Amino acid sequence: MSIDALIKDPSAFDFYQAVYTLQRQLAGEKQQFRKVGFDSLPKHELIRFKSEQHLGFPGQAIAAIKQAGTDEQDNISVDMLVSFMGLTGPSGILPRHYSELILQRLKFKDTGMRDFYDVFNHRLISLFYRAWEKYRFAINFQNANCQRENGSKNNDKSQSDPFSQVLARLSGGEGVNQYYAGLFSKKIRSSDGLQQILSEFTRAKVRIEQFQGKWQYLPGSEQTRLGSRQQPEGQYARLGLDASIGSRVWDINSSIAIHLTPEAGQAVKDFLPGESSAELVKQVIKRYLGNAVKVKILLHIKQRDVPPVQLSGAGVPLGMGCGLLSRAEKENKPCTLSLS
C-alpha cells in the first residue's frame, strides 16, 4: 500500500493499516521517538489525529487524510480525520450538547473549541493505536526487522521484539539454534550431529577427528608432592588414585580436530580468520560443544586459492596462507591452514 493511494482514497483502508503505513517512513533508529503515542512533541509526529464533527452515522473509520508537508528526510506528514473515536462528534463520549455547540461555532467560522478538543483527541487516538500495536506480535517483529535492515547500532537482542526474545529463550537461541533445533535439543552431543550441521552450514566437506590428545598443565596446588614437614601426608601422592609425575598430564578426551575442505568454486576467503563466515562457524561449534571441548579447525585448500602476496596499500594477510609461487605447477600444491 502506497502513501499516495492512502491520501487519494483513505476510506478504502483500515485505520491501523493506514497508521502503520505512514509510520513505516520512520525506519531509522533515531526516528523511532517520532511515532504517535510516545514522548515526542505533536509537531514532530508524522500524523495529527482529529475527530470528525457531525451527528450522523460514521460510515468509515477514516473520513479524510490531508498532506500537511514533508520534513528534511522527505517523510510525509498528514492530518487524519477519524470518526470512530473522540470526545465529540459521531462517536463522542461527552454529552450531545457539546457536539452541538461545536457545530454551532463552526457555522460562524470559529474553530477554537474544535481545535481545543482535538488536542486531547490526538493524544487519546495515539495511545489507542499504540495499545493495539503493543499486542500485535507480527507488527513488533516487522518493526524490529526494519530497524536491523536500516543499520541500527544496537545489538540483536535490543533490536528484536519481546515475542521473538521469548521464543529465543524457550528454544535456546536464535538463527542457527532454531534451524537445527532437533540436533541442539539432544542432551548427548555427537560428532555425527556436529558434522551434519557444519556440512550443511558451510557447504564444504567436513571430517571430524576425535580423541586428539593435548597436554594439560597443572598448577602447583594440584601437582604431586611427597611428604614433608609442611605437608606430612604429602599432596596428591596416592598411587593409582591421584598421583602424577611432572607439571602436566596428557588429556585424550578434551580436544577434537575439524577438517574443512571447500568444494570447487567456493570462496576460500570467507573461511579465513576475521571473516564473518569463519567467526560464525566458530560460534556454531561453541554453541554445540560448549566450553569443555577444545576445538582445532583445519582448512585444507590448494595453494592457488589462498590470497596472493602483493605490494600494495592493502594489508598482506601474513600467517593466513599467503605465499610466493615461483612456478605454475605449485598452484595445485595442498595447503593446510589452522583457523583456531
Domain boundaries, the chain: 3-134, 183-213+252-310+318-338, 217-249
Q: Which three cell numbers stand for residue 38?
A: 510516545
CATH 3.30.300 is the classification of domain 183-213+252-310+318-338: yes
Residues 42/48, Cβ–Cβ less than 8 Å: yes
**pLDDT of the residue at 27:** 65
Residues 107/77, Cβ–Cβ less than 8 Å: no
Residues 10/21, Cβ–Cβ less than 8 Å: no
| Helix-helix angle 112-134:137-149, to 10 degrees | 90
Residues 321/335, Cβ–Cβ less than 8 Å: yes
Residues 236/249, Cβ–Cβ less than 8 Å: no
**pLDDT of the residue at 161:** 76
**Angle, CA of 61, 89 and 22, to the nearest 5°:** 35
**pLDDT of the residue at 313:** 55
Task: Report the C-alpha gap between 207 and 199 in whole angstroms.
Answer: 9
Phi, psi for 305 (deg, rounded to 5): -90, -10
Residues 18/36, Cβ–Cβ less than 8 Å: no
Task: Report the C-alpha gap between 4 and 175 in whole angstroms.
Answer: 37
Alpha-carbon distance values, 54 to 103, 112, 124, 225 (Å):
7, 16, 19, 96
**pLDDT of the residue at 295:** 92
Q: What is the secondary structure of 305-329 as a DSSP string?
A: GSPPP--SSSPP-TTTT-----SGG
Alpha-carbon distance values, 226 to 229, 231, 241, 248 (Å):
10, 8, 15, 17
Chain mean position to CA 28: 15
* DSSP H helical ranges for 172-218: 176-179, 181-184, 191-202
Q: Please report, in tens digits, the pLDDT of each residue of the chain (340 residues total).
A: 688 889 999 888 899 999 999 988 876 656 677 888 888 888 889 899 999 999 999 888 999 999 988 888 788 999 999 999 999 999 999 999 999 999 999 999 999 999 999 999 999 999 999 999 988 888 888 877 776 666 554 444 445 677 777 777 776 655 677 778 788 888 888 999 999 999 988 888 999 999 988 888 999 888 998 888 888 888 888 888 888 888 998 888 889 999 998 887 667 777 777 777 788 888 889 989 988 889 999 988 887 777 666 666 555 556 665 666 556 656 677 888 888 7
**pLDDT of the residue at 95:** 95
User: Sign of the C-alpha dihedral, residues 52, 57, 58, 63?
Assistant: negative
Chain mean position to CA 326: 46
Q: Which three cell numbers stand for residue 254?
A: 578434551
**pLDDT of the residue at 155:** 46
The residue whose grid cell reads 602476496 is 309
Q: For 214, which DSSP code?
A: E
Residues 339/259, Cβ–Cβ less than 8 Å: no
**pLDDT of the residue at 92:** 93
Task: Report the C-alpha gap between 46 and 26 in whole angstroms.
Answer: 9
Phi, psi for 337 (deg, rounded to 5): -110, 135
**Strand extents, DSSP E, the chain:** 47-51, 62-70, 76-82, 205-209, 214-217, 248-251, 255-261, 294-302, 334-338
